[in-house]
Amino acid sequence: MIERLIERFRHGDRLALARLMSLAARGELPRDTLGALQSSKPARVVAITGSGGVGKSSLVGRLITVVRDQGLKVAVLACDPQSPLSGGALLGDRVRMAGKPDDDGVFIRSLAALSGQSALAAHLDTMIRLCEAFGMEVVLIETAGAGQGDTAVHALADVVVLLLQPETGDDLQREKAGVFEVADVLVVHKADMPGAEQAFAQVRAAAELATPPVPVLKASARTGEGLAELWRLVAGRPLRRQADQVDKDLLVAIQEELARRFESALAGGVKGVRDLVSRWRQGSVSSHEAATAVLDLLLNEP
């Protein structure tokens, strides 16, 4: 059954994508399945975070249009809190994302995030990879509030955009350390509201002191102000996940190379290495000591 789904997914069947997303959300997507779904091109993953009511869904709705106007395909993964008591969830984000229902370049999925634990739905990383493998070029993640999910968001997304209410200038003073650590771009949202200008000045003053300084801008999903500029900023950021992935790939390659050298040293009878292994077998050196010594020998091998 899963093979058929994957086959359909490969042929661009969005019902197959939707079903695989459900399996992923429940943690039921087999590991090797994902391996088989390598994407040719990484997507730009952008997280939109901020407290409830700050306008995340409305802004995402607007960004969909901005991104589509660039000719890029976009997936939205919108997280809302799940009730810890019933396990139920009321997922209302897509109300504010009304677009063209016949546009195949937009995929919107509502997800439940376990409340109190994280602002993100479980298995979001797998779902992002599914979107990438399906050919989505941008993935917009709406978090369920700001909260404790923030560091996790940072790991999942290339760019984290934090929305602030016009009246949160003072709050920002209090928690600015944390704010500047997770956010790549700060947006004073609802710029159409009174007080926005003042909040913007405050936030910018604080953001300039951060190292590195965090860009700040004003935007409004209602009027459209600042949206093009926001996307320009977001699109100009490096793909952080890609850099992490390069690191990981390199680490794996190094491990493989070391394993190969170790095996050939053993088989080829490099004396020092064999001695160390037999002393380790007898228990006269610890694993760590033996490993360090072997590594020294291997690296000094011509």
Ligand X SMILES: Nc1nc2c(ncn2[C@@H]2O[C@H](COP(=O)(O)OP(=O)(O)O)[C@@H](O)[C@H]2O)c(=O)[nH]1
Residue 44 or residue 189: which is nearer to ligand X going by CB?
189
222 binds, among other proteins, ligand X, Mg ion, none (CB under 5 to 8 A by kind): ligand X
What's the burial of 100, exposed, middle or buried (CB within 10 Å: 0-12/13-18/19+)?
A: exposed
Longest CA–CA span in the chain (Å) reads 78
Contact 40, 10 (CB under 8 A): no
Q: Does 300 bind other proteins (CB under 8 A)?
A: no
Give the containing element (helix H, strand E) for 152. Answer: helix 150-156
Phi, psi of 282, rounded to the nearest 5 degrees:
-75, -15
Cβ neighbours of residue 147 under 8 Å, at least 6 residues apart?
118, 119
Strand-strand pairing, 159-164 and 185-188:
parallel
Residue 56 vs 129, nearer CB to Mg ion? 56
x/- track of binding to Mg ion for residues 47-66 (CB under 5 A): ---------xx---------
Residue 141 in tokens = 């993640």
The DSSP bridge partners found for residue 45 are 139
Do 117 and 53 touch, CB atoms closer than 8 A?
A: no
- Is 115 in contact with 144 (CB distance < 8 Å)? yes
Work out whether 1 is an interface residue with other proteins (CB under 8 A): yes
Q: Out of 20, 46, 221, 230, point to the residue binding ligand X (CB under 6 A).
A: 221
Q: Rule CB under 8 A: is residue 84 a binding residue for other proteins?
A: yes
Residue of the chain from 82, 110, 126, 220 that contacts ligand X (CB under 6 A): 220
Q: How many residues bind other proteins (CB under 8 A)?
A: 30
- Compute the least distance from the CB of residue 163 to ligand X, in Å: 7
Residue 222 interacting with ligand X (CB under 6 A): yes
Least separation in angstroms between CB 144 and other proteins: 13
Q: Of 78 and 138, which has the nearer Cβ to ligand X? A: 78
By beta-carbon proximity to other proteins, the closer residue of 90 and 252 is 90
Chain residues in the site for other proteins (CB under 8 A) = 1, 14-15, 18-19, 21-22, 26-27, 82-92, 94-95, 98, 101-102, 107-110, 112
